[in-house]
Every structure is written in C-alpha cells, then in structure tokens.
Amino acid sequence: FVSGWFAKPMPVQYEKPSPSYLHEFLDEMHAENIREHLRKFTRLPHLAGTLQNLRLAEQIQKEWLAFGLDSAELVWYDVLLSYPNGTKPNYISIVDQHGEEFFKSLLAEPVPEGYEDLTDIVPPYSAFSAQGKPEGDLVYVNYGRTEDFFKLDREMGINCTGKIVIARYGKIFRGNKVKNAMLAGAKGIVLYSDPADYSAVGVEPYPAGWNLPGGGAQRGNVLNLNGAGDPLTPGYPAKEYTYRFSPEEGLGLPKIPVHPIGYNDAARLLNKVRMTIHTYNQVTRIYNVIGKIRGAQEPDRYVILGGHRDAWVFGGIDPISGAAVVHEIAQASGKLMQRGWRPRRTLIFASWDAEEFGLLGSTEWAEDNAKILQDRAVAYINADSAIEGMYTLRVDCTPSLQTLVYDVTKQVGSPEVGEEGMSLYDSWHKRDNWTDNRDAPRINKLGSGSDFEAYFIRLGIASARARYTKNRKDTYSNYPVYHSVYETYEIVEHFYDPTFQRLLAVARVRGGLIFHLADAPILPLNCLEYAHALIQYAHGILKIAQKHPEAMQRYTVSFDALFSAVNNFTNAANDFHQRLKKVDTTDLLAVRMVNDQLMYLERAFIDPLGLPDRPFYRHIIFAPSSHNKYAGESFPGIYDALFDIESAVDPARAWDEVKRQISIAAFTVNAASNTLNPVA
C-alpha cells in the first residue's frame, strides 16, 4: 500500500497576489535602512526586564505607528526572569588545601572598544541557575549529550554522582546538557566555549575577526521548559490575576548551579573546583510590541511575523539583525498602504520580549491568545537573527510552506558578489541541495530554540524561519561570538554583511512569505509537500525500529497502520489539489472553504493530550528532540519510545509503548487526511 513514493509533490499553481504590488513591496526594502535600524537598536544593551528594553519597545511601537500600521500596542506579562547578583559575582575557582581560592574565573568579558563606558552589560551567566557553592572533583563530559553520559557510564565506568561536571558548548541546547548532568547526579555544571567549536579556521578573534576571544563566554538560559513558557504559569498567560506556582514548583528550573566560562579560564581548571553562584530568579514585567495591519477582505485571518527584541547584551546578531529586518518589512508595508494597498488578510507584527529566558514573551502571548489564534492564524513566520554565516540561505519550515519558500526565493536576487542577476533560489540551490535525490535547495525541519515554538508545536500553526547561514561543512557551532558581548553592530558591518545585501535578501524572503500568505486569494500552502514529507518520516522511523528485528517480531510491532494512514493522506492531498484547481475563485464561500481546509491542516496534527510528559509539545509530526531542544524530531512520540530501547528494564512494556505511539501517529495522520476530504 506504500504507493506514496510515486506521488512526488507537483508544482502547484496558486493564484498569485498582484505581482506589481509584490515587487513594489520587495523594492521598498533597502539595505541602508536595515543598516540604520541595526545601528540604532544595538547602541545599548537591552536585556529582558530592564528599563532599556522597555524604552526600545516604546521606540519600536512609536515607529511602527509612524510607518502607518493600523495599531501598535505594548502587551506585558509578569514572568520569572533570572539575573546575576549585582554585588556578589558568580565565578569558578580553584581552591587550595586551606580553602583559599588561588584561581578565579573572569567576572566579566573584556568589553569591546567603543562600549567601555556602558555600565549595564550583564556578565556571562547561566540564567535560572540554582544558587550555591558546590566544591568537588571535576569530570569532563564532552558536549554533555545523552550519548556522552552513556559513554562515561557504560563504557568508561565513570560516575558523575556528587561531581562537578564540565561540558563544552555546542552540538545541543545547553539546557539539555544541564538536564543530563542533573540526571547523572552532578552537583554543578560548568559550561565553556572550546576553540574547536567556537573558532573558525583562519579567522582572528574579535575585533580583528569574528572569532570568539579567549575571554568571551556564552550567556544563555538553562531551562527545560518543554514549551511551557513562564515557569510559574504553565499553560496560562502570566497576567496580574494569574495563579503562580511557588518558585520551588517552577517548571523546568535546574536544581544545580550552572556557570559559563571562556576558554582561557577553562584551560586553567584543575581536578577540583568550587562554583560560586549568586544568580537569583525574580518575577519581572516584560513587554511585547504587537502591530497590526487590518485585512481588507478577511480581517479574521492572521499572518504573523514575529521575532524577539531582547538581547543578552547588544544583540548585534541575535536578535537585532532579525529585528532590523522586521522593522524594514513594517516600513515597506506602511509605504505600500500609503499607495492604497491593503492586504487581503490581517498582518500581525510582533516584537517579542524575553526570548532569551525561554521564549517567554512569544509563549505568553500565544497562551493569552490561543483561542483566537487557533481559529484564525494562517501562518507564523519567525524573525530571529537574520544572519549567522556568510554562505547561503537556510530555511526551516513546515512541509506545506516549502513550495512558497521556493517561489519567493525565485523572486529575490542573490546578495553574493559576482551573482548579480542570479536569483536567491539559484544561489542557494547551488550551495545546498537536498541530500536525497530531490533537485532543489535543502529545507530543514523546524526544531525549537526560537519564538515559533508555541505557534508551531503547541498550536499547530504553519511556520517557517529563514536566515543567512554558514556552510554546513564548517564544524564550529552557531557563530563564534554567539551570546557574548562581542555581538555588536560592528561585527555585522565589518564581517558578516558589509553591504547589508544579505540582510536585505533575508528581509525580502521573510517579507515575501508574509506578503503571499496575507494576500493570495488561495492560501499558498501545499499539502502535497506534507504528504511527501510524511512518507519520508514514516520510512525513517521504521528504519530505526528495524534495528531491532527480533524484538519487533517478538512483540508483534507493525508500522502498517502508519503507512496506511500516510497513504490515505497522500491520496487525500492529491484529490484535494485536483479539486483546488477547479475551485471557482469568484465564489467567496468556496474559496474560504478550501482555504480553511488548508489553514486547519497543520492544526490537525495537534493532539490535545500532548506528547508523553511534554503536555505543551502537542504536534504529532514534529517536536524538539528530547535530547536537543534545537533539533526537530519527526514522529517524536515513536522516536522517544524507541530511544535506547535495547536498555529497557521491561522490554515488553517498552515495546508496548512503541505500539501505542504508532497507533497515535497513525490516527493523527489519518484524521489529518480526513480534513482534506470533501467537507460533506
């Protein structure tokens, strides 16, 4: 019954929005403007919960209104944040036999030139670390991944119980490292940036180049929220009336001290260390800016462009390279409005707060507006950092948005020198093709680690993100100065995008996506691409299970139901697209009806019961990996049930859970296919 392989996605001809307005829209975005937004927004630190970040919110609000948006509001929440103690610094020390500290890690990073007079640069810290002064033997745990701890425990016989562990940054989300350390029984964890992971070959440290200096350290939160938003109000917006758990009951908070250091300090550490951590948690008001352009024909359909504004320090890359792009898209929208354009559907612009503290601003707003978003949201386009490398485009999106991404990138020019007249699509395509037989630029699954999470994984709204990235052959993690004080305006101007053409290209991709989604009479969502992806994911998860052929036979584990459901989905998607071609586009209700089917398709993958022990991760096809929040896992329920199943204490029970998860996935895919069938 697996006929799906033969149903390769076909190019779908959507009725396109008026091309003249699209090009006017893309042309209204200018590299020089983006440069100015970036410059203006990165002069001062704007950490979430600080007055400076509120001021920046007010400035953005004011400017969005000036651009011509119909409304721009500040929307606040009172969420749990975490700050270093202003008078008692955090550090790692080596202690002699008399208890004297004869080495202490740096209390702050050397401040880059031009910023020396600023007093409010938060020193490197791990947000939400527990307080404490644990002392003990130091165990090196490599990247602190699940497999690293398995190796220590199972192959090397090294026990981390009661130890302080040191992990290098990279490969996985730091919160997963902390969780793994806790599970291994460690009493503290030190994180450091190894040159192997945070220095590109042949590049100088900042300011001479864009590598991380030896005194630089990566800030970041170390929560394991699993999509909950504010740790004290999981599931509900953190408003003045909201019941809050007590701080000890807070969701996803680490129970041990955590601290990040640079590699100069890391190289000094000996067998035995002391951690001194005074970081404290505090309920703090944060502010989102929500701007709207009311849709002309379907004001009750929402296309959202959202990215965060808060930064650990200046946020030159993360997030302001993205926020500057959003600002330019808002400005271009306003200019078009002055010429009489108004989108068919409502556009929502969001400047999120406290992303760095666990996606808090975006998640609280999603919780606050869940009912409306569930009914009305067409798509969510994320706008975090617009650049993290100088090589080509990177897109992560839900399968149904792939066709639109290709369409849009064909309408945008390559920003690379020597590629004048070439489309971004072609430039991207030649640098990064799919690894399977498909001849098109590679598109990735959405994981997490940015503000789309609540919209995609919890609410089931079709989502995408796009940014400029490095060559995937480069082995360093993120970009070297990630979350350090060296993320300045200058690093973008001098190294990443001197002409601002790359940021402009990203602006046009993000802007082109929301333009089409908001303006096309038929929604540019392609369920054939979803069918194609489901077939691949089903084969992928089957392959993992088939590593255990005896167990599959012994416990009668079959994937037939899942493949049958995927087959149904493929057939339904094909039939739907056949019918779509025949829709009378002058029949407003008929158009609305097929659009509703397209819009609600992503919603159909949501299981209200959530994934096991992760009630806010409710998407049955995609979830952040349980071992690395940044990575997307397909069929996560089945994947997690299969993970390390060879070590299960009760294999019969473990395989039973695999069968239960297959059943849930099969039901969900089949139910989603039913939403594409004729409505009556």
Q: 20 vs 556, which CB is nearer to a copy of itself? A: 556
Burial class (CB in 10 A: 0-12, 13-18, 19+), 595: buried
The residues carrying an active-site annotation are 355, 558, 596, 619
For residue 363, report the phi and psi dihedrals to the nearest 5 degrees.
-70, -40
Q: 268 vs 592, which CB is nearer to a copy of itself? A: 592
Q: Provide, rounded to whole angstroms, the least separation between the CB of residue 637 and a copy of itself.
A: 11
Question: Which residues, 6 or more positions from 315, have their beta carbon under 8 angstroms from its beta carbon?
Answer: 41, 42, 46, 323, 487
Q: 1 vs 6, which CB is nearer to a copy of itself? A: 1
Q: 432 vs 607, which CB is nearer to a copy of itself? A: 607
Residues β-bridged to residue 350: 290, 306
Q: 17 vs 460, which CB is nearer to a copy of itself? A: 460
Check whether the bond before 207 is cis (ω within 30° of 0): yes
Contact 276, 91 (CB under 8 A): yes
For residue 549, report the phi and psi dihedrals to the nearest 5 degrees.
-60, -40
DSSP-derived secondary structure letter, 473: T
How many Å apart are CA 224 and CA 45, to the nearest integer? 26
Q: 278 vs 292, which CB is nearer to a copy of itself? A: 292
Contact 672, 569 (CB under 8 A): yes
448 closest CA partner among 365, 521, 367, 362: 362
Provide the 3-class DSSP secondary structure of residue 140.
strand
Q: Provide, rounded to whole angstroms, the least separation between the CB of residue 246 and a copy of itself.
A: 9
Q: Provide, rounded to whole angstroms, the least separation between the CB of residue 345 and a copy of itself.
A: 9
Q: How far is CA 398 from CA 4, 405, 446, 506, 535, in A?
A: 19, 10, 7, 18, 14
78 closest CA partner among 290, 306, 354, 278: 354
Residues β-bridged to residue 466: 395
Contact 93, 103 (CB under 8 A): yes
Q: Provide, rounded to whole angstroms, the least separation between the CB of residue 150 and a copy of itself.
A: 29
Q: 92 vs 598, which CB is nearer to a copy of itself? A: 598
Which residues contact a copy of itself (rule: CB under 8 A)?
70, 235-237, 239, 241-243, 292, 294-295, 297-300, 302, 346, 368-372, 375-376, 560-561, 564, 588-589, 592-593, 596-597, 600, 603-604, 608-609, 615, 618, 656, 659-660, 662-664, 666-667, 671-672, 674-675, 679-680
Nearest-5° angle of CA 455, CA 564, CA 635?
A: 35
Q: Provide, rounded to whole angstroms, the least separation between the CB of residue 561 and a copy of itself.
A: 3
Torsion of CA 48, 512, 504, 460, to 10 degrees: 30
Tokens of 430: 């030649």
